[in-house]
Amino acid sequence: MIIHTIFFYFFSVIAIFSSLMVITSRSTINSVFFLILDFISVGCLFIMVGAEFLGMILLIVYVGAVAVLFLFVVMMLNVAEQKQSWFIGKKSTHIPTGLIVSVLILLELLVVVGGWKYKEDLMSSSTLLLSNISNTHQLGLVMYTDYILYFQLAGIVLLLAMIGAILLTFRERIGVKKQSYLKQISRSPSNAVELIEVKSNQGVKIDD
């Protein structure tokens, strides 16, 4: 148990430290790297409490895909180093907005966690059996039976978001040459290459 506690504090200290560094570090790239470290240590915490599926999915989805895109955007935008962090130098105008948002999130968390404590069968499920099957199995059992509607709806929302993003960035440009793969692959040497015997001092006539 001692080892367990040591590991727990190890990961949670790293998680808290890196989440602080995300908002205080001066270079944006470093912020993203600390965000990744935060994700990883939270994933480790998930695994430590026995939610190995959630931990792995956190690693795959957030670290493996979302954070890569963050990093991509930050690197491409070439954001200059922030001249002022929020507690050094001049006062930033973002503080009130940030405070409002964080207070709202705190209230929401309080409502959710409090409601869960207050009414124990709030999110209970008839399919969920407390037995020694792994939590991945249990998640599968619940997700495709009791919560199939929410699961599918979440999928549709994601699909809509994807289609919307593609639609927003899609524009047809006129006058751009496009490559047709079919044409490129189906070209054969017989109609693409011509062998000509060139006579001296006459050259070749190119017809285009």
Partner 1 sequence: MIEYLEILGQEVYKIIFLLVPILVSVAMIVWLDRRVWGLVQKRKGPNVVGPFGLFQTLADALKYIFKEIIIPASANKVVFILAPIVTMTLALVAWAVIPMSEDLVLANINVGILYLFAISSLGVYGIIMGGWASNSKYPFLGAIRSAAQMVSYEVSIGIIIINVLLCVGSLNLNDIVIAQKELWFVIPLFPMFVIFFISSLAETNRPPFDLPEAEAELVAGYQTEYSGMMYAMFWLGEYANILLMCAMGSILFLGGWLPLMDIYPLNIIPAPIWMILKILFLFLLFALIKAIVPRYRYDQLMRLGWKIFLPFSLIYLVLTASFLFYFDKLPKVNI
Residue ranges in contact with partner 1 by CB under 8 A: 2-3, 29, 33, 36, 52-53, 56-57, 59-60, 63-65, 68, 71-72, 75-76, 129, 131, 133-134, 136-137, 179, 181
CB 166 → partner 1: shortest distance, Å? 12
**Of how many residues is the chain composed?**
208
Compute the distance between CA of residue 136 and CA of residue 128 in angstroms, rounded to an integer. 12
List Cβ neighbours of 177 (8 Å cut-off, separation of 6 or more): none
Nearer to partner 1, 170 or 181 (CB): 181
Nearer to partner 1, 12 or 128 (CB): 128
Nearer to partner 1, 74 or 92 (CB): 74
Compute the distance between CA of residue 68 and CA of residue 156 in angstroms, rounded to an integer. 24
CB 137 → partner 1: shortest distance, Å? 7
Nearer to partner 1, 98 or 164 (CB): 164
If residue 18 lies in a helix (H) or strand (E), which one and from where to where?
helix 2-24
* Amino acid at position 109, single letter: L
Nearer to partner 1, 11 or 33 (CB): 33
Compute the distance between CA of residue 175 and CA of residue 182 in angstroms, rounded to an integer. 20
Q: Which of 25, 28, 19 lies closest to 74 in space, CA to CA?
A: 28
If residue 105 lies in a helix (H) or strand (E), which one and from where to where?
helix 95-118
